[in-house]
Structure 1
Amino acid sequence: MRRITTAARKNWRERALEAGFAFHTIDDSPYWDESAYYAFTLRQIENDIETPTADLHAMALDLVDEIVASEERLRELAIPPAFWDLIARSWRAREPHLYGRMDFAYDGDGPAKLYELNYDTPTSLYEAAFFQWQWLDDRQRAGTLPRTADQYNSIHESLVEAFGTIAPHLPRPFHFAAVRDSIEDQGTVDYLRDCALQAGIDCDKLAIEDIGVTADGRYTDLDDRVIGTLFKLYPLEDLFADDFGRHLPSAGLRLIEPPWKAVLSNKGILPMLWRKHEGHPNLLPAFFDDGYGELPPGWVCKPLHSREGANIDMRLPDGTRLKSDGPYRGPWIRQAFHPLPRIAGRNPLLGSWVVGDRVCGLGIREDDSLITRDTARFVPHVIVEEERGALVA
């Protein structure tokens, strides 16, 4: 794995505008960064990223049966009891899920280490699925990358296929929703809706804030139609906490992601995975904060519910402490400290994508800090040939 500096396309902003990539710059700071790319060998992708992701995905799904059947486990995850039956019903019915992202620390040598599962509202999707593929195609057409270069990326095709597979099982009307004022969330929802349309699904879009509730607890759109299926880029735990969400158990609304994803999107899944698979080469020791065991020097403290690197409390082995602000509070987990690699002054975090149950792509975000925050930059990647021990780009 190498970080290779390169000249950006002169027209990349125009290409972004044409593609509807409105959040390539956020708060006047670059988010999309093609001044460099990461080069992997096919062996690194297949052995160190793809296979572990598939294994961990299966291990995580295997835990869901155990968790939904246990009040003790649901309490450990701090899931409100009012939603336990809803979660269990959605799992037993195997309500379809769409996608998720696993975040790994990986330096190109040795096993990738799982930081967390983003299995409810993962973002950085459009840039991973579409825009970095366009970047590769443009670079190859310009002759600045060879035709033999590839990319670990079948995310778009997998999304369209997944929507086509689950479409017959989804009640109508089908709506996509996100917070009105989030340009990134709106862009992600626009992209996902386009994938659904390509799969032949008739669907609409509205803001989360515009969803209404009838007197008998049904959710409606702006035309007062009762919503059958809702893709919501809005955390399940927030729905459970909102007054708006108290109708979910009896509303008859089909959600994507389904309620059972509240189990896997919770940081508590990390100590549960470690408890069941202690010593697995891709897992880090992790414990619930009210009863954690012995950790090697250094630890990272995370709330059960947090996103975008917020409210992380990191103690390095040398005693240095790094903390990030944010709105999230306890309960917490503690996870063994395992640093991101430091390459050219940047710390890359690898996001491995799973669509349905298919492992299908990679996105990389870089931060100057060991904590990957919402200001991290997205950097594209390629797969290159390996010839006589050298990488050939």
Structure 2
Amino acid sequence: MRRVATPERPDWREHAARAGFHFHSFDGAPYWDESAHYAFGLAEIEDGIEAPSRDLHDLCLAFAARAVEEERILASLRIPEHAWDAIRASWRRGDPSLYGRLDLSYGGAGTGPAKLLEYNADTPTALYESAVFQWLWLEDGLARGRLPAGSDQFNALHERLVARLAAIGRALRTSRLAFTSFPDAPEDRGTVAYLQDCALQAGLAAPFLSVEAIGLDEGHFVDEAGAPIAALFKLYPWEWIFADPFGRAVGAAPTRFIEPPWKAVLSNKGLLAHLWAMAPGHPNLLPAFFEEDPHKAVLGASFVKKPLYAREGANVLIVEDGAVAARAEGPYGAEGFVRQGLAPLPRFDGRHVLVGSWIVGDEPAGLCLREADGPITTDRARFVPHIIDP
């Protein structure tokens, strides 16, 4: 694994416009950054990222099976009690999941095994740029001779998403999957628009509904015309839904959700403490404990403190040798925190890089890398493409 400086294409913004990638920059600063790429050996992908990702996801599913049956676990995750039945029912029905992203600290061969930092199991973004635009970058780089001949990419995302959406349609016995997000959030709307396109390719009708347009009528979630919604993909977190008055209707409503309610137990940072308790010493886990657990003392003076509910690095605190190394502000933390062992992100050319390993259905399907100037990966992190070097 190495970072390779690469002159960016002078016309990459035109390529982005043609491909529908409209959120490639934020406030004038680049989000998509092709001034470099990461090159991996095939074994690093297969053995260092793909195999551990499969193992970690399987471990998460085993935890979900336990969590839905133990009120103690659901309470520790600060999931409101009124949502427990909906979560249990969705797991017991086998409600299908579409995708998620494992965030890993991994620096390549010889640096030790990948370590799970968190699981974005409910509403991960960075999907379109992972599945499509970095693949187009690879194809264009090969065509122009800018990349080594024979370069590949760990990227089966698009094909897997289309196939999984077709399978979800069959499982839910529906030919129509509605999609919702906030329409004025560019990254959210771009992610959902891409998934709508995947659903169309899977043979499903895929209308878009603004979150604010969804209503509740006699226990049924309905669209703007008052028609019942049979199946809904929502880029809207379960903790927000459960905190809203209409969230109490989820369990009794016939609507099936993607991601399903059982994903709420995996998108919570409390998962990290429970995984460590289930599999202490697992090579791809870091020791983790709830903040109120006195066993957290085993972490000593170096650790990371994370809110149970948080996004994009908000309210993360990194302590190293007893001193605050980094802190991110934000609105989260009221529900509590976990304390996790410190696995600093690897640094390449002064950048801190986070490896995102995508899961589609239950299989690893692709890779994304995001760089930050500091040790906490926030919403200002830059997306950098990758290759498998021949």
TM-score bracket, shorter-length normalisation: over 0.9
Percent of counterpart pairs with the same letter? Answer: 51
Alignment of 1:299 with 2:319, yes or no, is no
User: Closer, same or farther in 2 for the Cα pair 1:328/1:318, shift >3 Å?
Assistant: closer
In structure 2, list runs of 5 or more residues that go unmatched: none
Aligned position for 2:382:
377
Deviation string, structure 1 residues 23-49 (Cα, Å, up to 9, x no partner)? 001122210000000000001111110
Aligned position for 1:131:
133
User: Closer, same or farther in 2 for the Cα pair 1:239/1:172, shift >3 Å?
Assistant: farther
Alpha-carbon deviation of 1:322? 1.6
Q: Secondary structure of 2:366's partner?
A: strand
- After superposing the two structures, state which structure 1 stretch, 183-192 or 315-324, moved more: 315-324
Task: Work out whether residues 181 and 192 of structure 2, in 8 Å CA contact, stay in contact via their aligned partners in 1.
Answer: yes
Output the aligned Cα RMSD. Answer: 1.1
Alpha-carbon deviation of 1:174? 2.2
Cα distance between partner residues in 1 of 2:29 and 2:248 = 38
Aligned position for 2:182:
179
1:220 to 219, 222, 230: 222
Aligned position for 2:42:
42
Cα distance between partner residues in 1 of 2:251 and 2:183 = 25
Residue identity in the other structure for 1:39: A
**What aligned pairs does 1:1-393 form with structure 2 within 5 A after superposition?**
1-108=1-108, 109-170=111-172, 171=174, 173-214=176-217, 216-293=218-295, 294-317=298-321, 319-329=323-333, 330-385=335-390
Task: Work out whether residues 220 and 254 of structure 2, in 8 Å CA contact, stay in contact via their aligned partners in 1.
Answer: yes
In structure 1, list runs of 5 or more residues that go unmatched: 386-393
Task: Work out whether residues 74 and 84 of structure 1, in 8 Å CA contact, stay in contact via their aligned partners in 2.
Answer: yes
Residue identity in the other structure for 1:243: P
TM-score by length of 2: 0.97
Cα distance between partner residues in 1 of 2:83 and 2:128 = 31
Alpha-carbon deviation of 1:183? 0.5
Task: Work out whether residues 104 and 355 of structure 2, in 8 Å CA contact, stay in contact via their aligned partners in 1.
Answer: yes
Alpha-carbon deviation of 1:296? 4.1
Residue identity in the other structure for 1:70: E
Alpha-carbon deviation of 1:274? 0.3
Cα distance between partner residues in 2 of 1:217 and 1:172 = 22
Q: Secondary structure of 1:114's partner?
A: strand
Residue identity in the other structure for 1:126: Y
- After superposing the two structures, state which structure 1 stretch, 306-315 or 293-302, moved more: 293-302
Q: Secondary structure of 1:251's partner?
A: coil
User: Closer, same or farther in 2 for the Cα pair 1:172/1:199, shift >3 Å?
Assistant: closer
Cα distance between partner residues in 1 of 2:249 and 2:59 = 32
Alpha-carbon deviation of 1:318? 5.6
- After superposing the two structures, state which structure 1 stretch, 312-321 or 128-137, moved more: 312-321
Residue identity in the other structure for 1:295: L
Task: Work out whether residues 169 and 175 of structure 2, in 8 Å CA contact, stay in contact via their aligned partners in 1.
Answer: no
Cα distance between partner residues in 1 of 2:337 and 2:60 = 19
Alpha-carbon deviation of 1:246? 2.0
Alpha-carbon deviation of 1:231? 0.2
Cα distance between partner residues in 2 of 1:240 and 1:166 = 24
Residue identity in the other structure for 1:347: H
Give the number of equivalent residue pairs.
384
Alpha-carbon deviation of 1:292? 4.3
TM-score by length of 1: 0.96
Cα distance between partner residues in 2 of 1:225 and 1:233 = 21
Alpha-carbon deviation of 1:217? 2.4
Cα distance between partner residues in 2 of 1:380 and 1:321 = 28
Cα distance between partner residues in 2 of 1:127 and 1:203 = 20
Q: Secondary structure of 2:299's partner?
A: coil
Alpha-carbon deviation of 1:90? 0.5
Deviation string, structure 1 residues 31-84 (Cα, Å, up to 9, x no partner)? 000000000000111111000000011111011111111110110011111111
Cα distance between partner residues in 2 of 1:29 and 1:199 = 35
Cα distance between partner residues in 2 of 1:318 and 1:242 = 39
Deviation string, structure 1 residues 366-390 (Cα, Å, up to 9, x no partner)? 00010000010000000013xxxxx
Cα distance between partner residues in 1 of 2:194 and 2:63 = 31
Cα distance between partner residues in 2 of 1:290 and 1:57 = 27
Q: Secondary structure of 1:149's partner?
A: coil
Aligned position for 1:391:
none
Alpha-carbon deviation of 1:224? 1.4
